[in-house]
């Protein structure tokens, strides 16, 4: 669904047909009580807005409709009309048509199109644009009093992450649900494993290593009529100001699991090694193709993230967590490999169900809204994003960065005004020369 040719994120990230079948079955058995809208009572509707109609946004919309028979996709927005058209075609093939209410006047285009979605009467908004836009869009959604599903990562720079923290706090105060796309937090094997770790089954965590090793992402070759802004937006995952680079955009999932194992403990400092030996050409922008980030905690223990997007290399997505009482292991791409091997006693392996985590995110979000028990992922979604930014900037600069230095960073990425037209040539960082600011 995305223009990208290799998976950037856990598999099955987009449309799930089972979600549609389930929603359709539930909707078909719903009682017909007046007033009705299709088979859905008007006063039972939860109106959903979608901002960012690409692969994940379309998939998340299908998940939202599958989560709640009263959910209705009410308004959508994107910067490109062709993405809206493609999204609607895919929705029509994959979702219950009675849950799609998108007349032309509720299809909005442009950088500010989110404002029109928020003003259209939606109850819930899905934020699935690239992460460079997330802080401003999340702020707006919470200020407008909407429940939110927002994709990961949450920001591309520290000031942006702070705006996300403030918005998450405001959501809590307003009793709004805020669920993040850090989807492993909604995956049953990982919940069982990390639950055991947080329960003390491994003793004290002493070391961890998480991998996100995959191939390069596809490109959209430049067309003569495209401005710099259109060119970069259509290749956004190759531009740091929009994506945050591969460690923030993609490997943040693995950073989040390192963070999960330590129960959101802040690392005191981070050392990074990184480069982009296999990237060239304007479409490849300024992002690197590999990072190692070594997070050090107050007790001297370390958690290490390695990530890579290079062709013809071995791929892997695993977490190893060592504790004073044993070793835990999980392979995110092979959910039957989730185990704890204690130094003494019986080993444990996950053998329960593995429901689609993308569906679970929305099932739990809509349940929380219906029951008036708001969920709020704010703490870990902000900290895992900050840790990813820390690893990126440690890699870019070649310097050790402390948490305090990180939190004092004032660097904001990207243009101050979003408009179609020219953009400065991206500057590729050089470790040892690039300064942290
Ligand atoms: N949780 C996961 O496993 C997972 C999987 C894939 C993507 N993602 C995340 O989802 C987000 C979107 O990724 P994608 O793969 O769907 O990308 P995509 O390119 O397929 O879709 C992004 C869409 O946003 C639109 N857009 C860009 N800027 C916009 C703006 N300012 N306002 C409105 N629309 C705008 C683009 O035109 C595009 O249609 C990213 O943050 C990505 O990291 C998460």
**CATH number (domain holding residue 169):** 3.40.50.720
Same domain, 247 and 388: yes
How far does residue 135's CA lie from ligand 1's centre (Å)? 14
Query: Which residues is 126 bridged to in the sheet?
Result: 50, 149
Is 110 within the bounds of a domain? yes
Residue 75 pLDDT: 98
pLDDT at 22: 38
* Average pLDDT, rounded, for the chain: 92
Helices (H) and strands (E) in the chain, counts: 14, 17
What local confidence, expressed as pLDDT, does residue 368 receive? 98
CB contact burial 171-199 (16+ within 10 A = b; e otherwise): bbeeebbbbbbbbbbbbbbbbbbbebbee
Give percent of the chain with pLDDT exceeding 70: 91
User: Domain for residue 424, yes or no?
Assistant: no
Residue 126 sits in the same domain as residue 148: yes
134 and 23, same structural domain? yes
Closest alpha carbon to 426 in 185, 201, 245: 245
Task: Give the pLDDT score at 336.
Answer: 73
Matching residue, tokens 């918005």: 167
Average pLDDT over residues 65-90: 97
Report the CATH number at residue 334.
Answer: 3.30.360.10
Distance 297 CA to ligand 1 centre (A): 33
DSSP state letter for 100:
B
192 part of a folded domain: yes
Q: Is the separation of the CB atoms in 272 and 436 below 8 Å?
A: no
Q: Does the structure show a pLDDT above 50 at 29? A: no
Is pTM, for the whole model, over 0.85?
Answer: yes
Average pLDDT score over residue span 197-220: 96
247 shares a domain with 169 = no
The first and second tokens of residue 256, run together, are 């989040």
User: Is the domain of 194 the same as that of 130?
Assistant: no
- Quick check: 286 pLDDT over 80? yes
Asked if residue 210 and residue 157 are part of one domain, the reply reads no
Whole-number pLDDT of residue 41: 75
Identify whether 429 is part of a domain. no
Q: Average pLDDT in the 107-127 region?
A: 98
With respect to residue 357, please indicate whether it lies within any of the assigned structural domains. no
Asked if the model's pLDDT at residue 277 lies above 70, the reply is yes
Q: Is residue 118 part of a domain?
A: yes
In a domain, 7, yes or no: no
pLDDT at 191: 97
CB-neighbour burial class of residue 14 (10 A; exposed 0-12, middle 13-18, buried 19+): buried
Say how far apart CA 349 and CA 334 lie, in whole Å.
13
d(CA 393, CA 399): 8
334 and 262 in a common domain: yes
Does residue 355 come out as left (phi exceeding 0), alpha (psi in the -120 to 50 range) or beta? beta
pLDDT of residue 12: 42
Exposed e or buried b per residue across 120-145, where buried means at least 16 C-beta atoms within 10 angstroms of its C-beta: bebbbbbbbbbbbbbbbbbbbbbebe
Q: Which pLDDT score, from 0 to 100, does residue 427 have? A: 94
Q: Are residues 205 and 300 in the same domain?
A: yes
Average the pLDDT over 425-436 and give the result: 96
Q: What is the pLDDT of residues 142-186, one digit of tens each?
A: 999 999 999 999 999 999 999 999 999 999 999 999 999 999 999
User: Taking a C-beta distance cutoff of 8 angstroms, is the pair 3, 230 a contact?
Assistant: no
Number of structural domains in the chain: 2
> What pLDDT is recorded for position 37?
54
Residues with CB under 6 A from ligand 1: 2, 8-10, 13, 51-57, 77-80, 83, 111, 113, 128-131, 133, 151-152, 181, 183, 233, 249
Question: In this structure, is residue 420 part of a structural domain?
Answer: no
Residue 221 has pLDDT above 80, yes or no: yes
Examine the domain organization and report whether 310 and 249 are in the same domain. yes
What's the mean pLDDT in 352-358?
Answer: 96
Do 194 and 163 have their domain in common?
no
**Residues 211 and 180 reside in one and the same domain:** no
Please give the structure tokens belonging to residue 302. Answer: 């370390």
For residues 131 and 222, state if they share a domain. no
How many A from CA of 133 to the centre of ligand 1?
Answer: 10
Q: Give the closest residue (by CA) to ligand 1 atom 25.
A: 52
Q: Which of 124, 428, 84 is nearest to 279 (CA)?
A: 428
Domain enclosing residue 43, as ranges: 17-184+362-377
Query: Residue 119: left if φ>0, alpha if ψ -120 to 50, beta else—which one?
Result: alpha
Burial (CB count <10 Å: 0-12, 13-18, 19+), residue 388: buried
Interval between CA 423 and ligand 1 midpoint (Å): 20
């Amino acid at each position: 669904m995305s223009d990208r040719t290799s998976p950037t994120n856990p598999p099955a990230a987009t449309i799930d047909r089972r979600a549609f079948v389930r929603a359709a079955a539930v909707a078909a058995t719903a009682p017909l009580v007046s007033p009705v809208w299709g088979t859905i009572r008007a006063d039972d509707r939860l109106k959903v807005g979608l901002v960012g109609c690409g692969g994940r946004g379309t998939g998340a919309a299908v998940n939202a409709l599958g989560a709640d028979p009263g959910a209705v996709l009410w308004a959508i927005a994107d910067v490109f009309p062709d993405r809206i058209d493609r999204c609607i075609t895919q929705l029509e093939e994959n979702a219950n048509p009675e849950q799609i209410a998108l007349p032309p006047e509720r299809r909005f285009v442009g950088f500010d199109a989110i404002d029109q979605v928020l003003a259209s009467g939606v109850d819930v908004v899905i934020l699935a644009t690239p992460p460079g836009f997330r802080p401003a869009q999340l702020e707006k959604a919470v200020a407008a009093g909407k429940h939110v599903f927002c994709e990961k990562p949450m920001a591309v720079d520290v000031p942006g992450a702070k705006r996300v923290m403030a918005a998450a706090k405001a959501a809590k105060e307003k009793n709004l649900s805020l669920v993040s796309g850090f989807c492993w937090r909604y995956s049953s094997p990982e919940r069982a494993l990390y639950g055991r770790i947080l329960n003390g089954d491994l003793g004290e965590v002493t070391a961890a290593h998480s991998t996100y090793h995959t191939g390069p992402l596809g490109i959209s070759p430049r067309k003569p009529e495209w401005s710099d802004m259109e060119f970069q937006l259509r290749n956004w995952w190759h531009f740091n100001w929009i994506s945050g680079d591969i460690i923030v955009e993609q490997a943040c999932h693995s950073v989040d699991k390192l963070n999960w194992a330590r129960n959101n403990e802040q690392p005191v400092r981070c050392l990074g090694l990184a480069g982009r030996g296999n990237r060239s050409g304007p479409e490849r922008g300024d992002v690197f193709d590999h990072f190692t980030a070594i997070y050090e905690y107050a007790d001297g223990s370390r958690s290490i993230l390695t990530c890579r997007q290079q062709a013809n290399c071995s791929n892997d997505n695993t977490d190893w967590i060592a504790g004073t009482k044993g070793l835990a292991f999980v392979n995110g791409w092979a959910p039957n490999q989730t185990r704890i091997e204690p130094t003494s006693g019986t080993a444990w392996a996950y053998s329960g169900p593995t429901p689609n985590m993308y569906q679970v995110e929305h099932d739990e979000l809509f349940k929380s809204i219906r029951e008036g028990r708001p969920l709020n992922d704010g703490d870990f979604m902000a900290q895992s994003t900050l840790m990813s930014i820390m690893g990126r900037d440690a890699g870019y600069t070649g310097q050790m960065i402390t948490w305090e230095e990180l939190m004092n960073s004032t660097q904001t990425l990207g243009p101050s005004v979003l408009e179609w037209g020219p953009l400065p040539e991206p500057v590729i960082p050089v470790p040892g020369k690039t300064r942290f600011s």
